């Protein structure tokens, strides 16, 4: 039992508050937000200015991949009105976040490194309208494309996964890897060069150059397009040679 003469330790009001909050004396936590109505509006960063910076950055990036004549538009998302960032001593800088990819929805980094220090990521919606190649009439897998299959049509190419084309000449003579419906955008991924040589087909094999070239007949062991290499079995000797397919479907052995 405590004697009546033993003083009881007194706990100050400030100490009791620290114990309840869990805070340690001398520990400072830096926050990028400025709270309280006492902060003057002039000392805060204007949200509209940040959105304009992010929009300008996104448009500049989009111009680098946009086809000629494309119409570009971008709009940054509105910021939370409760976000109160200290004013920057200089114009905040914009940057691409790590791993950024193009497309219709991008993120733009905005940061202040002068006076106040903070970093913000602002979503931006990008629109890139341009005339791209689409299929005019239905075509099946393996079908060779001619002028009647192709037309140009305006699309928001920012929503596409890339590979779109802006000229019919890019697709003429190519074949489809899969069926496409009329009006579908034709991408490079959907096309492959026309196979001039088919597996099992008899082909002319030319060895040598000019007047000393030797011509023979062989059997193709794989499909191949012009400019691709293919292995061919000579029908007489049964020897297998490899050569380059030319524009006429001949195999130039040894090249």
Q: Which CATH number belongs to the domain containing residue 142 in this structure? A: 3.90.1210.10
Q: Encoding tokens for residue 227?
A: 């400019």
Q: Output the pLDDT for position 32.
A: 46
Tell me what percent of the residues of the chain surpass a pLDDT of 90: 58
The closest alpha carbon to 131, from 158, 152, 147, 160, belongs to: 152
d(CA 50, CA 61): 17
Tally of domains in the chain: 3
With a cut of 70, say whether residue 83 has pLDDT above it.
yes
User: Which of 156, 171, 192 is the last residue before a domain boundary?
Assistant: 192
Query: What pTM does this model have?
Result: 0.63
d(CA 219, CA 198): 9
Residues ≥6 apart with Cβ < 8 Å to 123: 76, 77, 105, 106, 107
With a cut of 60, say whether residue 10 has pLDDT above it.
no
With a cut of 90, say whether residue 220 has pLDDT above it.
yes
Q: Output the pLDDT for position 8.
A: 35
For residues 128 and 207, the model is more confident at 128
Do 120 and 48 reside in the same domain of the chain? yes
Query: What band does 26 get if pLDDT is binned at 50, 70 and 90?
Result: very low
With a cut of 50, say whether residue 162 has pLDDT above it.
yes
Residue 184 belongs to what domain range? 129-192
In a domain, 65, yes or no: yes
In a domain, 5, yes or no: no
């Amino acid at each position: 039992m405590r004697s009546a003469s033993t003083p009881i330790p007194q706990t100050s009001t400030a100490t009791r508050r620290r114990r309840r909050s869990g805070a340690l004396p001398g520990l400072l936590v830096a926050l990028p937000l400025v709270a309280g109505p006492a902060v003057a509006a002039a000392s805060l960063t204007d949200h509209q200015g940040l959105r304009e910076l992010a929009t300008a950055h996104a448009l500049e990036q989009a111009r680098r991949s946009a086809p000629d004549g494309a119409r570009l538009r971008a709009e940054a998302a509105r910021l939370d009105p409760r976000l109160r960032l200290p004013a920057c001593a200089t114009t905040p800088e914009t940057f691409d976040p790590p791993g950024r990819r193009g497309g219709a929805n991008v993120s733009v980094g905005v940061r202040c490194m002068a006076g106040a220090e903070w970093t913000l990521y602002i979503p931006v919606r990008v629109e890139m309208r341009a005339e791209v190649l689409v299929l005019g009439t239905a075509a099946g897998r393996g079908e060779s494309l001619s002028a009647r299959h192709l037309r140009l049509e305006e699309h928001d190419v920012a929503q596409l996964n890339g590979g779109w084309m802006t000229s019919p000449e890019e697709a003429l003579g190519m074949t489809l890897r899969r069926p496409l419906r009329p009006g579908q955008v034709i991408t490079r991924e959907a096309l492959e060069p026309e196979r001039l040589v088919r597996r099992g087909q008899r082909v002319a094999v030319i060895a040598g150059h000019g007047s000393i070239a030797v011509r023979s007949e062989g059997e193709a062991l794989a499909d191949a397009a012009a400019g691709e290499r293919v292995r061919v079995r000579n029908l007489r000797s049964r020897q297998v040679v490899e050569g380059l397919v030319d524009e006429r479907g001949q195999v130039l052995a040894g090249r």
